[in-house]
Amino acid sequence: MYEWLKVLHIISFVSWFAGLFYLPRLFVYHSENSSNEHTCKTLEVMEYKLLKYIMNPAMIATWIFGVTLIHYVGFSGGWLHTKILLVVILSGYHMYLGVIRKKLIIDSSKYSSKYFRYINEVPTVLLILIVILVIIKPF
């Protein structure tokens, strides 16, 4: 059962990260096309569906399978505490993207495309740190 939980956890977080990498890219296109109403409407639908149908379920599944895995390995080791902290930060980032999506609907020129390019690096940094913690278990 433990191995299957790991498989499901990995599939879930890969799906989640795919959305975390792609949604800010859609925001870049949204902000760069703020004067084109048709393009903005299309991007709004894409952003909504990505968040609601892929990212939210993937995040929830990642948490469920991750917490279930903790049942098997125990909640010991500083690496696991740190990993969970980073996943909490990642979940907050996910929610922040949801807030931004709603703000873009109201005013698509509120943020610059450069801003979205910068915040698109957040999940990359967190992914690197989380993988290091899980594989190396430095503490």
| DSSP conformation letters of 4-19 | HHHHHHHHHHHHHHHH
pLDDT at 76 exceeding the cut of 90: no
* pLDDT at position 108: 83
pLDDT confidence bin for 127, thresholds 50/70/90: very high
Whether 17 shows a pLDDT value over 90: the answer reads: yes
Stretch 90-102: mean pLDDT: 98
**Token pair listed for 139:** 């503490």
Q: What per-residue confidence (pLDDT) applies to 70?
A: 95
On whether the CB atoms of residues 20 and 94 are closer than 8 A, the answer is yes
DSSP string computed for 42-89? HHHHHHHHIIIIIIHHHHHHHHHHHHHHHHHH-S-SHHHHHHHHHHHH
